[in-house]
Amino acid sequence: MAWHHIIPFSLLREVWNRLVDQQIATELAEARVAIRQYLVLCDRNQRNLDDLIDRMRAENTEQKRAGHHQLRPIEVFEAHQLATVAVWPPWNAVEGPRRRSDDPQDRYFDRFTSGLRAGEAARMSVIETLFNNFQAFAGAGPAPGPGSLRALIQAASTARPIVSCDLPIRYRPEMWVDDGAGLWRKRREGEGNTVAGQ
């Protein structure tokens, strides 16, 4: 078994890196709001979030030169913790067989349609909208401006009530089909519960 991203890891990493860059390198008010909204979307149970976000700014060279009060830099373990939250939100993972014949290889949206409970199906639809919003944000270039940050803030705020959860979608046999030779794939909508070779 393995955890499979729905929105590709590479896109989540890109969004996160741009948010961190904007938080550190700019004075945009939207940068702080966007990174906070993104982190709350990823994990609603984060503690000391505001302190950690403020301490990210300790890397801002303009702030250091201006002699503003010195922020304690974020620790390496704290940076790793935030990065993990940012790229492994529980709402974006599905447990399933490791060896897949339909594995998107971190390049495509991994849409699940069969075997989902009603709340999971609703979540999948909102995650697909988030995917489009994240692509637009990443496509805004290495330094997204206030408009792109505001769009991301709105997308995260709108999605949070629906996608927010504490656990990924766990493995259920009705979600998967044995393709034979040790490979599995997602069951497609309307496909029966037959096993390959039977």
**How confident is the model over 17-49, as pLDDT tens digits?**
999 999 999 999 999 999 999 999 999 888 899
Domain residue limits, the chain: 2-186
User: SS3 sequence, the chain?
Assistant: CEEEECCCHHHHHHHHHHHHHHHHHCCCHHHHHHHHHHHHHHCCCCCCHHHHHHHHHHHCHHHHHHCCCCCCCCCHHHHHHHHHHHHCCHHHEEEECCCECCCCCCCCCCCCCCCCCHHHHHHHHHHHHHHHHHHHHHCCCCCCCHHHHHHHHHHHHHHHHHHCCCCCECCCHHHEEEEECCEEEECCCCCCCCCCCC
- According to the model, what pLDDT value does residue 69 have? 58
Q: What are the pLDDT digits (tens) for 153-180?
A: 999 999 999 999 999 999 999 999 999 8
Q: Residue 83 pLDDT more than 60? A: yes
